[in-house]
Amino acid sequence: MWKQLERALRQTRTVELRLDWLLTEKEMQAFLRRLATERPRATLIATCRRREAGGRFRGTIASQLLVLAEALRAGCGWCDLEIESSSQCPPELLEVLIGQGRRLASAHFFRAHSADWHSVAARLWRTRPDAVKIAAKSCSLADGLKLLRLANGKRNVVAIPMGEVALPLRCLALREGSALSYAPVETATASGQVPLDTLENLYRADRISRKTRVYGVIGDPIAHSLSPQLQNAGFQARKMDAVYLPFLVHDLRDFLSAVEPLGIRGFSVTLPYKQKILRHLDDCDSLAAAIGAVNTVVVRGAGKLYGYNTDYIGVLRALQLRISLPASRILIVGAGGAARAVAFALAQSGAAVCICARRAQEAKMLARAVGGEAVTRARLREDFFDAVVNATPVGMFPAVERSPLTEHELNCRLVFDLIYRPVETKLLQLAARRGIETISGLEMFLAQGAAQWEIWTGQRAPVAAMRRAVLDALGVGGKQNLRAQG
Ligand code: NAP
């Protein structure tokens, strides 16, 4: 805990000490003794949450109060006492035992809950604290926003929407008026928490103001997405006051109704919403309409939504340098959203497009839409293509040992796998083994993301900084450049 405290103090001057996570009374005493000796210059909040209130402390309320009193003597300026304990003690007793410090009266709702937060706050204020805190699991952005509105810029109110869906609200909590936002140094103590380092350095949570332009990516799941690293690196490289957040969206309408209150200026769209978003748009780029999928939305005046497809641009940027498209014959494996963008991009560039999908009907429909040809899997062993593009998720993390095609089905000069996690998929390994040139989905990911950034900002994207951030996040850093991919 001491090491964690030291790490925290490198990044913030306000730290909550979860004393209930120390295993024994002896550990707790040793920690508090060291605190009393070293007295770090910071605002420290002592918490010793009892099991009844979702913590780990097994002692009685009286022993909890004694621990908090000791922590205050050791240099903590504040203590956090949950309503389950404070409601059992007369305020006069609290004054005698822990009156030398300031008290945060807290209430936690770990299950999805939508209470009248004002009456919960009123209950907390009745225990005569210096500040109140309500943390509640929010299953929707609407619920989370309702909780944040309770704080509304008051210096003595902390509102914490918990849960995965509310993660972006934790990043925006300070701007939305909460006096504090919580982030773990190492171990998360509640769901939806963002590690301190990420909260500060990736999402700049302490510097977000009403002027900050907010962008994001919507999808389900979304935790795996590297778009936040990519886009935020772009904003930081250009020193722009903007932030890009990941939104786990179970209900598209809930997200769309939060666009205006959160001041979202634009967002990326990923699985499974690339097609579903279309019917919520006010207008759409003609190419995106033809593809039937949108991966980029711009929020214009009066909340009007305008859609684009930059996967299309990503495909072309990744392929054009390696192959002359007008004269080529290219096989696309898969017939979903990404396959549609690839098929339209290649057909419009003059390539002959072939589609192979596990559902023959889907392959035929896509082939017809782009004036191409549907091919069966059985034909792949004999046929030859200039390039093969994998537009299925087969081989994507965590099922990295899988490949959509066997080695003998790779009769081509170039293999392009849209998957970027891992950078070198099983399919690319098989191709390289046969001496076939390869392109990782990372190239397309970078290009489609840079195109989004340019649409939103109207400036040229700092591609080198964006690439570096994604390679770092993938753990390949500067060691492996993309030449290794082909
Ligand atoms: P999608 O709309 O769900 O389409 C997936 C396609 O793959 C469908 O044709 C699906 O067939 C097929 N498929 C799924 N599982 C399969 C399996 N086990 N065997 C054979 N075919 C299978 O997904 P998407 O948006 O097109 O994305 C596809 C891949 O491209 C994903 O891995 C995604 O991460 C990647 N992608 C990368 C970028 C980039 O920038 N690099 C951009 C977009 C997408 P059914 O219809 O029969 O299910």
Model confidence pLDDT, tens digit, residues 387-400: 999 999 999 989 99
44 forms beta bridges with 15
**How would residue 477 be classed by pLDDT, with cut points 50, 70 and 90?**
low
Q: Which of 185, 183, 205 is nearest to 194 (CA)?
A: 183
- pLDDT for the residue numbered 103: 97
- By most ligand atoms within 8 Å of CB, the mutation choice from 308, 392, 402, 474 for ligand 1 is 392
Dist. CA 337 → ligand 1 center (Å): 7
**Rounded to whole angstroms, how far apart are CA atoms 155 and 178?**
8
Percent of the chain with pLDDT strictly greater than 70 = 98
Assess whether the C-beta atom of 391 lies below 6 angstroms from ligand 1: yes
Model confidence over 253-295: pLDDT tens digits? 999 999 999 999 999 999 899 999 999 999 999 999 999 999 9
**Rounded to whole angstroms, how far apart are CA atoms 453 and 235?**
9
Q: Which of 339, 336, 338, 439 is nearest to 386 (CA)?
A: 439
Assess contact for 151 and 157: CB atoms under 8 A.
yes
Cβ atoms within 10 A of the Cβ of 386, count? 17
284-287 long-range Cβ contacts below 8 angstroms, 24+ apart = 284/308, 285/309, 287/312, 287/344
Q: Choose the catalytic residue: 274, 304, 426, 479.
A: 274
Assess whether the C-beta atom of 357 lies below 6 angstroms from ligand 1: yes
- pLDDT for the residue numbered 153: 78
The CATH topology of domain 2-192 is TIM Barrel (3.20.20)
Dist. CA 147 → ligand 1 center (Å): 38
Confirm whether 154 is a catalytic residue: no
**Rounded to whole angstroms, how far apart are CA atoms 400 and 393?**
10
Residue written as token pair 């489609």: 448
Paired tokens of 239: 């020193």
* 197 pLDDT higher than 80: yes
Dist. CA 265 → ligand 1 center (Å): 28
Assess whether the C-beta atom of 441 lies below 6 angstroms from ligand 1: yes
Buried b (16+ CB within 10 A) or exposed e, 110-122: eeebeeebeebbe
Dist. CA 311 → ligand 1 center (Å): 13
Give the CATH number of domain 319-442. Answer: 3.40.50.720
* Ligand 1 atom with least separation from CA of 340: 26
* 112 pLDDT higher than 80: no
- pLDDT for the residue numbered 480: 45
Say what angle helices 61-73 and 25-38 make with each other, to 10 degrees: 20
Helix (H, G, I), strand (E, B) or coil at 319: helix
Instruction: Spell out the CATH class of 215-311+447-480.
Output: alpha beta
Assess whether the C-beta atom of 444 lies below 6 angstroms from ligand 1: yes
Assess whether the C-beta atom of 418 lies below 6 angstroms from ligand 1: yes
- pLDDT for the residue numbered 115: 83
Paired tokens of 413: 């000069």
Model confidence over 339-373: pLDDT tens digits? 999 999 999 999 999 999 999 999 999 999 999 99
Model confidence over 116-173: pLDDT tens digits? 999 999 999 999 999 999 999 999 999 999 999 999 878 899 999 999 999 999 999 9
* 479 pLDDT higher than 60: no
Dist. CA 57 → ligand 1 center (Å): 48
Assess contact for 235 and 244: CB atoms under 8 A.
yes
- pLDDT for the residue numbered 123: 95
Buried b (16+ CB within 10 A) or exposed e, 64-75: bbebbbbbbebb
Assess whether the C-beta atom of 392 lies below 6 angstroms from ligand 1: yes
> Any idea where the domains of the chain sit in the sequence?
2-192, 215-311+447-480, 319-442
The residue nearest atom 36 of ligand 1, judged by CA position, is 418
Assess whether the C-beta atom of 388 lies below 6 angstroms from ligand 1: no
